[in-house]
Structure formats: C-alpha cells, structure tokens
Amino acid sequence: MDIKKLLSTRGGDYAAACGLDFSKPPAFYDTFALRDAEGHEAMMQNWPYFRSKVSRRAMIYGEAVPVRSCWNGVVVMDAESFYRGLNFRAIPDSLAKLHLEGSECCLIHADNPGRVWMNPNVRVGYNEGAYRQVKGSSWMSIAWGLWTNRLRRWFSSAWFREVVIRRRVEKWEKDNPGSHEAGGFCLIDEMQVLIKNGWAHV
C-alpha cells in the first residue's frame, strides 16, 4: 500500500518521489540525503522539519513537498534519466580531502534535472514498532513542532555552515580547472572513514 501511494504522488509527475523514514519516532531518520526546496538540510528532525517556506507549508498541509533531494527509506524514480546516462556517484576524492562528504542518494538528484517531491503520507520504519507508531494518528506534536520550528528560524541561520562548504568547493574548482560540483547543496562538513565494524563520521 505504501509503495502504491508513493508511486501515485502528484499523479506520477515527478523525477523522484520519496516517503519519510523513522527509526525512533517522532524524529525522522535520513538527515544525510534530505534537502528542502532551497537546498538546506532539515532544520529539525521533528515535524515540520524544514527551513524553506514552500517546503514547510506543503508539509503542514499534508501535500507533496517540493525538495531538492530525499531518499528517506523509500524512493521511486523515473527510469528515463538512467537510460540517458544518469548514474550514482560519490564526490571526487580531491574534494573529499577538503573535509567534505556527500550522500550518493542526494547527488543523484543533483545530477537529475527533474523535480523531486517528498510524500508526507508515506511513512516507513526501520522496525515494526517504529512503523506502527508513525501509522497512528498521534505520532507528532503539532503545536510543539510549529513553535519549535518558528523559534529556530528566528534565532538560527544556515548561512554560516553553508558558506564554509561553498568556499571549500570554490577553492577546489579554482585549483582544479574544468571541475564542477553540481551537488554542492548535498555536502556536509564531515569526512567518512572506514573502521573495523563499518564507517564513522569525523
């Protein structure tokens, strides 16, 4: 049922459509790949999540949410772009050495010219308990979420964090003529390293 609902997002008019994923509700899980309509990271892990006015408004009204990128546990994509050469990728090692990382699940949308939407009515969980909780009617606190989001918008800014990343990308492009990173909005100020039982952020 969730997949059918996701496939029918906007009547099938999308390059990609994603649901929302949860491990420990009410906080959503996939902060690495989700970017709002303006390319910002989610401002908070609880509803209504977004800094962008257009993304936040759609979320509040339960409509398909315009985003730059999402994955969120479940995604459907128009296959035509892959026939035209769209591929999953990482950022170049030379850019990663500047202490940057980007999710392939975000970069794929940066390379795809079509629109991306998040369907807030498709909610999936990493375990049965989480799934059952977000299928219920009381999985979020509306008043708390609205006021917390408002206060964070009033007293915080994404500019400082994003300008650090943008300057590193600009330096890399200057030092590597002909190079360009279309997925700058996907990047975070971290590196991922392999460890004996998986990987870690540093």
pLDDT-derived band at 138 (thresholds 50, 70, 90) equals low
Q: Is residue 193 part of a domain?
A: no
CA distance 69 to 88: 14
CA distances from 136 to 1, 16, 17, 33, 144 (A): 15, 26, 22, 25, 18
User: Which whole number is the average pLDDT over 109-127?
Assistant: 96
CA distance 36 to 120: 13
Residue 27's domain comprises: 2-90+104-156
Q: Is residue 40 part of a domain?
A: yes
Q: Is residue 37 part of a domain?
A: yes
Percent of the chain past pLDDT 70, that is, above it, reads 99
5 has a pLDDT exceeding 80 = yes
Taking the CA atoms of residue 192, residue 66, residue 79 and residue 2 in that order, the dihedral angle to the nearest 10 degrees is 90
Q: Is residue 76 part of a domain?
A: yes
Q: Is residue 114 part of a domain?
A: yes
User: Which whole number is the average pLDDT over 140-152?
Assistant: 90
For 33-185, list the strands marked E by DSSP: 35-36, 65-69, 75-77, 101-102, 116-125
User: Which whole number is the average pLDDT over 19-38?
Assistant: 94
Q: Is residue 165 part of a domain?
A: no
Name the strand (E) or helix (H) holding 24: strand 16-24
The total of structural domains in the chain comes to 1
Mind listing the pLDDT tens digit for each residue in 69-90?
A: 999 999 999 999 999 999 999 9
